[in-house]
Amino acid sequence: MPEITVPVEIRDLTFADLENLRWSGGRSHLVGIAQQLDRVAVGLAEYLVACLPSGAAVGKLAIDYAARGDAGLIHQAAVHGMVQSCGIGTLLVAAAEERIRNHGRSFAELGVEYDNPRARALYARLGYVAYAQEPAEWDDDQPDGSVVRYRTMCIMMRKRLS
């Protein structure tokens, strides 16, 4: 089978990118991303996006510096379904770890839902170790236009950064 290599740029997410992230969630999710971008402006967070040469956003993640004293907390991570298992998540996590290290933190931390074994396997392969569980919740848009509060339990994973 022929192969092609497509360069991926990891850069800071901007408000102008929000329209290109509709694949990652509904209106409530995009509002949540915008709220994180407001936190970026005051130095509490960073938000990264992975883009193809066309400019199409195919992955993203946020880093929260206020949630943990010694760690950058990676959250809102997602890779477009059409390019999952192509290394984009690995690139995003590596870029996030570099940002966290440059921010003076000793650890990167993240939570992964129990029903997401592929993501958990990726994080374990990248050196993250499960250490606890923690509840998480967010607004979730329903097909009928209503919004419900989604509640879940996440496995917390941590990695020491050198």
Structural domain includes residue 67? yes
Looking at residue 100, its amino acid is: I
Structural domain includes residue 3? no
Structural domain includes residue 33? yes
User: Mean pLDDT, 10 residues at a time, over the chain (162 residues)?
Assistant: 91 96 94 96 97 96 95 97 94 98 97 95 97 95 93 97 90
Domain that holds residue 148: 9-160
Structural domain includes residue 113? yes
Structural domain includes residue 115? yes
* CA-to-CA separations, 120 to 96, 109, 113, in angstroms, rounded: 17, 12, 8
E strand map for the chain:
9-12, 45-51, 57-64, 71-79, 107-113, 129-141, 147-160
Structural domain includes residue 1? no
Write the CATH number for 149.
3.40.630.30
Structural domain includes residue 4? no
**Number of domains the chain contains:** 1
With beta carbons less than 8 A apart as the criterion, state whether 96 and 74 touch: yes
pLDDT at position 162 is 83
pLDDT at position 148 is 95
Structural domain includes residue 22? yes
pTM of the model: 0.94
